[in-house]
Structure 1
Amino acid sequence: MKTLYLLGSAAPPVLGIAPVIEMAQVRGYDVCLGLTPSAARWLEPRLTELERLTGHPVRSAYKVPGADDVWPPADVALFAPATFNSVNSWALGLTSSFVVGFAAEAIGKGIPLVAMPCVNSAYARHRAFGRSVTELREMGVTVLYGPGGFEPNLPGERRPGGFPWQLALDAVDAMGS
């Protein structure tokens, strides 16, 4: 069984993360869930349920130096939903949150990475965002953004078909092939 690190930041799709964990498990992954501090706060009432579902602690903070790692090593990682802040921080190497820090280090460790941003069209117009997506792609990250991936909607608009989790999990599967 391969270990998938599912990393999420505070965008609305993170609220529906439990079924995504189950879909990944059906595909044969041992899932470890990591969240930005804001995403962990959003999911706080359900963290115990998510830990039961994955069989691992949900992490949103760096471990104390010298402490044992509570997760098995990752075979692949999926950072979704990845917010404007997370994508830009990751591309710049600003690792103030555990999930961004893991993703940044995973590039250097050669751990296959898939990212699917979740930004509205106003954020997507910011020049830094496009540069960050390009930078991550140039570092070998599979970024599912644009045609065939996540396409921004208007601020405040809900996506009729929901967040395209299936595309993200298909890309994760392709990494293991």
Structure 2
Amino acid sequence: MTEPSAARKKPFLYVVVCACGIAADVGELITAAQERHWDVGVIATPQGLGFLDTEAIRTQTGYPIRSAWRAPGEARPLPPADAIAVAPASFNTINKWAAGISDTLALGILCEAYGMGVPIAVLPHMNAAQTAHPAYRQSLERLRGMNILIGSGEPHPPKSGGGADPFRWQEALDLLEPQLGHRPDRGRRGTP
């Protein structure tokens, strides 16, 4: 007889989705992760939730989207994460996360995951005016100092809608897999 934990062999990826115009396309990352033998759960920022087709994501992943804290005694709806991809990552989320602000479930998970050693990749998606702000540059420096893996995406022009250039969804997996050795038998790290 096998143990319950032995039944899950695929690594589990949390995808944290922020309020960005391209967030509706997160299914591309979910599909790519599943093709690479990951199981996936989605955590959305409260504003990001409005950009998503929650039923389509639930069908694709087999899990509900998390966006709010659990009530005391409520079961955890997702297994612990082996890795986390923040994609797309907004200006607001990056700056709050780097400052240690944990006022949403998504930020709380990101702040705790760092302390638990869970590998995290972030794919920023914002305009050039936002990336020019000194707080953003300082936030990226802090996140790099925390060994957070930062994607290579370029900012889009202000007022352009942000969806003109292709978003490199799979880059999150490319950054994370070497951190795990992407071994299906990798042990659980125990994220929130």
Tell me the TM-score normalised to structure 1 length.
0.92
What is the rounded CA distance, in whole Å, between the counterparts of 2:138 and 2:41 in structure 1? Answer: 29
What is the rounded CA distance, in whole Å, between the counterparts of 1:39 and 1:109 in structure 2? Answer: 25
Provide the aligned length of Structure 1 versus Structure 2.
171
Identity of aligned residues (%): 33
1:38-53 map, 5 Å: 38-43=47-52, 46-53=53-60
Give per-residue Cα distances to partners, 1:23-67, cap 9 Å, x unaligned: 110000000001011111222xx2112111101110011111332
Which residue matches 1:36? 45
Q: Which blocks of at least 5 consecutive residues in structure 1 are unaligned?
A: none
Question: Could you list the runs of 4 or more consecutive aligned residues of structure 1 that deviate by over 3 angstroms after TM superposition?
Answer: 158-161
Which residue matches 1:170? 174
Deviation at 1:174, TM superposition (A): 2.0
Higher percent of residues as helix: 1
Among 80, 85, 91, the residue aligned to 2:98: 91
Is 1:154 the counterpart of 2:157 in the alignment?
yes
Higher relative contact order (CA 8 A, sep 6+): 2
Is 1:75 the counterpart of 2:82 in the alignment?
yes
Which residue matches 1:59? 66
Partner AA of 2:30 in structure 1: I
- Contact 2:11/2:82 (CA < 8 Å) preserved in 1? yes
Deviation at 1:138, TM superposition (A): 0.5
Which residue matches 1:121? 128
Which residue matches 1:7? 16
User: Secondary structure of the equivalent of 2:39?
Assistant: strand
Deviation at 1:161, TM superposition (A): 4.0
Give per-residue Cα distances to partners, 1:61-115, cap 9 Å, x unaligned: 1111332211111000001111000000000111111111101110001111111
Give per-residue Cα distances to partners, 1:111-157, cap 9 Å, x unaligned: 1111111111000010000000100111121122xxxx011121123
Q: Which blocks of at least 5 consecutive residues in structure 2 are unaligned?
A: 1-9, 182-192
Partner AA of 2:13 in structure 1: L
Range with greater deviation from structure 2 (26-35 or 151-160): 151-160
Partner AA of 1:171 in structure 2: L
Larger radius of gyration between Structure 1 and Structure 2: 2
What is the rounded CA distance, in whole Å, between the counterparts of 2:127 and 2:24 in structure 1? Answer: 17
What is the rounded CA distance, in whole Å, between the counterparts of 1:66 and 1:88 in structure 2? Answer: 31
Which residue matches 1:16? 25
- Contact 2:21/2:163 (CA < 8 Å) preserved in 1? no
